[in-house]
Amino acid sequence: MELDPLILSRLQFAFVVSFHAIFPVFTIGLASYIAVLHGLFYKTANQAWDRLAQFWTKVFAVVFGMGVVSGIVMSFQFGTNWSNFSYATSNFLGPILSYEVVTAFFLEAAFLGVLLFGRNKVPQGVHLFAAIMVAIGTFISSFWILSANSWMQTPAGYELIDGRFHITSWLEAIFNPSFWYRFAHMGMASFLTGGFVVAGVSAWYLLRNRDVEANKKALSMCLWLLLFLTPAQALIGDFHGLNTLEHQPTKVAAMEGNWETRSNVPLLLFALPDQENQTNRFELGIPNMASIILKHSADGVIPGLSEVAPEEQPPVALVFWSFRVMVGIGFLMIGVALLGLILRRKGRIFESPLFLKTLVAMIITPFVAVLAGWIVTEAGRAPWLVYGVMTHAQGLTPSLTGAMALFTLIGYVAVYSVVFVVGVYYLTRVVRNGMHDDPIEVKGEVERPKRPFSAAHTPLDDDLGDRTAGANVS
């Protein structure tokens, strides 16, 4: 068995970036929610908003901390495994990724501390302002990252000199053709992630009769939000798809499982793409639907995978199925939001245990959808690293051997497994311990904004007692 450094490096990057991405996608949405909670408390002086804000800030602290830890590795990944790519693209990606770091540090230095530790120490208005700034800061961070990624998908504003990219227009490069679509789609995904997690945790508390007043407010609010955002996300996704069709037709062909350029393309609900024979072995679809969606007419012509040679095609089955997972979850989310509306009209939104349990189960879905979506866009770009200009193979570190790549792949999986298990375990304890009259807390810890975990105060392995009983019926 010959170890292929290219495959292993791609696996490693996929693993590291996936592991990292789940944290920011949650914190971006949550930061905005916390800012809204602070705003509501500021306006109404209702203690329930304050309790919610306090609790979710603790969760935010832990998730943010895990995002930072896993992000440090990201900033070295490009150089270790993709040094040719780093060197060739450094004139653009260097400053752009650095600006993300600069933004993040500025945010931490200035506002995160006030948000995490400033309660009762700074005026309420200042605390609210800090919450808003943290929310804005998370968006600015994602702005830079998505600009970098979009540029790799739809490169613009550059010229190639001796195999290196030189930027001729920063504006064209930063706001490249796919940027706004991706930014909107990802921002909306963050809101949906925040919304479903908050709704699910609130439902979990309601099932246990804990802080009913605050959690009813939170749940009701989330369901209104999701009712509007879930269809909006489908719409943004559709526009994003049209943009991809324009710039990366092969990716769309893989998403649709469409091998030949033709009209009246069906929307496949199920298929088994067979890359070797350049065909689908089994198809089940809605006639003409893909043409209607992408070209707004039944006989619209859609380019197929056969436009490019087989070795220039992405891994079709992976892209095809990841896309269906993402879209399927999207429709499931719309369904749950509509169900919430129906129950609300009957006044049974908080009374149906089945619905509340459904919401708890939905917590995981936005994360799966986000990862599936990233697999669609990243695997769908293959074999290109910078679309149409540089392939994965050209971007790889020339001195990298299969054994080296395998060693670090196993290493990162091991390190991250420990971080993830401990972090998620701790997070569940924060949730179990939170929203409580007298949460058990660690005393005498050093509180520091750059150590966000220190804002959570929950012990790691002491007994929390039976916190699941209905101890708090307000």
Residues that bind other proteins (CB under 8 A): 65, 69, 72-73, 75-76, 78-80, 83-84, 86-87, 90-95, 97-102, 105-106, 109-110, 166-167, 170, 397-401, 403-404, 407-408, 411-412, 415, 418-419, 422-423, 426, 442-448, 450-451, 453-454, 458-462
How far apart (Å, rounded) are the C-alpha atoms in residues 362 and 365?
Answer: 5
User: What token pair was written down for 3?
Assistant: 């170890």
Q: Shortest Cβ distance from residue 472 to other proteins (Å)?
A: 24
Closer Cβ to other proteins, 335 or 465, answer by number: 465
How far apart (Å, rounded) are the C-alpha atoms in residues 177 and 218?
Answer: 38
Closer Cβ to other proteins, 79 or 465, answer by number: 79
> Rounded to 10 degrees, what is the CA torsion of 405, 25, 153, 181?
170
Closer Cβ to other proteins, 96 or 218, answer by number: 96
- Please say whether the beta carbons of 326 and 373 come within 8 A: yes
Q: Shortest Cβ distance from residue 90 to other proteins (Å)?
A: 3
User: What token pair was written down for 304?
Assistant: 């197929």
Closer Cβ to other proteins, 164 or 348, answer by number: 164
The owner of tokens 């707004």 is 296
Closer Cβ to other proteins, 276 or 461, answer by number: 461
Instruction: List all residues 6 or more positions away from 257 whose beta carbon is below 8 Å from its beta carbon.
Output: 268, 271, 273, 280, 283, 316, 320
Q: Shortest Cβ distance from residue 24 to other proteins (Å)?
A: 15
- Please say whether the beta carbons of 471 and 210 come within 8 A: yes
Report phi then psi at 155, rounded to 5: -60, 140
Q: Shortest Cβ distance from residue 454 to other proteins (Å)?
A: 7
How far apart (Å, rounded) are the C-alpha atoms in residues 31 and 138?
Answer: 8
Closer Cβ to other proteins, 166 or 348, answer by number: 166
Q: Shortest Cβ distance from residue 100 to other proteins (Å)?
A: 8
SS3 state at 68: helix
How far apart (Å, rounded) are the C-alpha atoms in residues 71 and 61?
Answer: 15
User: What token pair was written down for 262?
Assistant: 């033709």
Q: Shortest Cβ distance from residue 41 to other proteins (Å)?
A: 26
Q: Shortest Cβ distance from residue 418 to other proteins (Å)?
A: 8
Q: Shortest Cβ distance from residue 383 to other proteins (Å)?
A: 21
Number of H helices, E strands in the chain: 15, 6
Instruction: List all residues 6 or more positions away from 95 whose beta carbon is below 8 Å from its beta carbon.
Output: none
Closer Cβ to other proteins, 8 or 218, answer by number: 8
Q: Shortest Cβ distance from residue 446 to other proteins (Å)?
A: 4
Instruction: List all residues 6 or more positions away from 105 whose beta carbon is below 8 Å from its beta carbon.
Output: none
Q: Residue 102 half-sphere exposure, CB side, CA atoms within 13 Å?
A: 8
- Please say whether the beta carbons of 319 and 379 come within 8 A: yes
Paired with 451 in beta bridges are 448
Q: Shortest Cβ distance from residue 262 to other proteins (Å)?
A: 44
Q: Shortest Cβ distance from residue 408 to other proteins (Å)?
A: 5
CA-wise closest residue to 432 among 459, 414, 394? 459
Closer Cβ to other proteins, 84 or 264, answer by number: 84
Closer Cβ to other proteins, 281 or 443, answer by number: 443
How far apart (Å, rounded) are the C-alpha atoms in residues 219 and 271?
Answer: 38
Closer Cβ to other proteins, 110 or 242, answer by number: 110
Q: Residue 230 half-sphere exposure, CB side, CA atoms within 13 Å?
A: 27
User: What token pair was written down for 125?
Assistant: 């208005």
